[in-house]
Amino acid sequence: MIKVLQIGMTNNLGGIETFLMNYYKNIDKREVQFDFINIYDKLYFEDEIKNMKGKVYKLKSYYKNPLKYTKELIKIIKQNNYEIIHCNMNSAVFLYPLIAAKIAKAKVIIAHSHNASNDKGLLKTLLHNINKRFIPFFANTYFACSKEAGEWFFSNRILKQESKKYFIINNGINIDKFKYNEELRKKIRQKFNITDKTMLIGHIGRFSKQKNHEFAINLFKEIHEENENTKMWLIGEGEKKEKIVDLVNANHLESYVEFLGIRQNVNELLQAIDVFVLPSIYEGMPLVAVEAQVSGAKCILSDKITKEAKITDKTEYITIDNGIQSWKDAILKCDYERNNKYHIDFDRYDIKFNVVELVKTYKCLIGK
């Protein structure tokens, strides 16, 4: 059995957390076992991890004490003989996990890019651009969730190397779970008192600058002024939620915009949505866009999102740089009739396929 130490999961639900749990739930644990590093009070999926016999190691945060964190991580890697250290990263600002793995002489050290940009300010952007040059000194394998995420994170030398150490790892989902279901759509819409004639616009994502909720609310305001029979769902939590609630109230939209929080039944809620919008200012490879497309919804995505996210002909990319008018026009004129008659590249994002490919990659990396 291959023991993989996963680093990068946090106490908030986001892309890395979803990626790791989708793979961990579906991986054959007779072949591969994931264990996790935790620098928070509790990981978001900690209970589920432990129920699946995964270990969670509580370490001092590298934000507070980088030296102690590094020493503790080196000790864990050595004592438990982890062959693969899989570092899931949104930026190269902090390289402590890679440094610790290098010092511990782990056989395979993976730097995995989950983002294609950041919005953390000038200093962290500068640190990222400097630190990413040092990644090859510590890591010896390179993963990215999309072509753009790889290009943002790694040098051309890594991207073009002939040693086969660079891989695109797709963010897989349970395709069957998200497929369109007419009966479920009716049930969910009835539960939320949404009529058949109401256009329901949905957005899923953490309330952060990256997800661009202000744009989504201003867009909905314009749409609602032209078509009163519209509603909007915002699914997620985050540091900017209060600001968005204030914006909704200031525009007197509180009767039409619902904040649903973090939900475990996103697959069911997507059945009810007619149009899914994601006006992000950057993304790595947004799983929610894939999930929405599998559910059969019309999807309008920011042109800042990787083109690899498009898997159906019901998806359209529109620039966010020119304002909301083109988004408004696209939504008001679109045919949002739901059905499951569309082509989708199942293999590319089906977790059942991708988890097999990841196991093959792990085995290849350690020479099995």
- Per-residue pLDDT of 58-72, as tens digits, reads 999 999 999 999 999
Q: What pLDDT was estimated at residue 245?
A: 98
What stretches of the chain show up as alpha helix (H) in DSSP?
15-26, 46-51, 66-80, 96-103, 122-131, 135-138, 147-153, 156-159, 175-178, 182-191, 213-226, 241-250, 266-272, 287-294, 325-333, 346-349, 351-366
For the stretch 91-124, pLDDT in tens is 999 999 999 999 999 999 999 999 988 777 788 8
pLDDT of residue 368: 73
Tens-digit pLDDT profile for residues 267-285: 999 999 999 999 999 888 8
pLDDT beyond 60 at 342: no
Residue 360 pLDDT > 90: yes
Q: What local confidence, expressed as pLDDT, does residue 272 receive?
A: 96
- The per-residue pLDDT for range 299-309, each reduced to its tens digit, is 999 999 988 88
Return d(Cα 43, Cα 57) in angstroms, integer.
Answer: 10
pLDDT of 313 reads: 84
Among candidates 256, 245, 258, which has minimal Cα distance to 203?
Answer: 258
What would the mean pLDDT of 138-152 be, rounded to a whole number? 94
pLDDT given at position 367: 85
pLDDT value at position 161?
A: 67
Residue 60 CA to residue 310 CA, distance in Å, equals 40
Measured CA to CA in angstroms, residue 297 lies from 69, 300, 312, 325, 341 at distances of: 44, 10, 10, 21, 11
pLDDT reading at 326 higher than 90: yes
What's the rounded mean pLDDT across residues 157-169? 82
- Give 231's pLDDT tier (boundaries 50, 70, 90): very high
Instruction: Please compute the mean of the pLDDT values over residues 7-14 and round it to a whole number.
Output: 94
Mean pLDDT value of segment 125-137: 92
Q: By percentage, how much of the chain surpasses pLDDT 90? A: 80
- Res 126 pLDDT > 60: yes
What pLDDT, on a 0 to 100 scale, did the predictor assign at position 349?
A: 86
Please answer whether residues 336 and 298 qualify as being in contact, where contact means their C-beta atoms are separated by less than 8 angstroms: yes
* Whether the Cβ atoms of residue 285 and residue 306 lie closer than 8 Å to each other: yes
Cα separation of 47 and 53, whole Å?
Answer: 10
How far apart CA 118 and CA 135 sit, in angstroms, is 18
Q: What percent of the chain has pLDDT over 70?
A: 96
Domains and CATH numbers, the chain: 2-172+350-366 (3.40.50.2000), 175-346 (3.40.50.2000)
The residue ranking higher by pLDDT, 255 or 155, is 255
**Mean pLDDT score across all residues of the chain:** 92
Provide the whole-model pTM: 0.88
Predicted pLDDT at 181: 92
